[in-house]
Amino acid sequence: MLQQLGTTCSAYGFKPGTDAYTSCVFRLDQDRLARNRQALADIGQNMSETGDRMMQNAQVRRPIQCQSYKVGTSVNTNCF
């Protein structure tokens, strides 16, 4: 990966072994890491939103089943 960044910096005209070249590689690597972090954050956010929508849909569409049973003179009903 760093070699690819170095190739890019060389293409920009920076000479290997110079402070400017090292700074270029460092900046490109930091930019790459920031993009990766953002991509992972976006994926996590999308997964969370998808999970939330799935839970909402499951609750809305979930069939309700009830059972009633007699206890003495009263009737108890449980729905789930």
pLDDT of residue 61: 67
What is the domain range of residue 59?
2-79
| Residues 17-22: contacts with CB under 8 Å, at least 24 apart | none
pTM score of the predicted model: 0.60
Residues 6 or more apart in contact with residue 12 via CB below 8 angstroms: 24
pLDDT at 59 over 80: no
CA distances from 39 to 5, 25, 62, 69, 73 (A): 20, 21, 34, 54, 63
Number of separate domains in the chain: 1
Distance of alpha carbon 44 from alpha carbon 37, whole angstroms: 11
pLDDT of residue 67: 92
φ, ψ at 41 (rounded to 5°): -65, -40
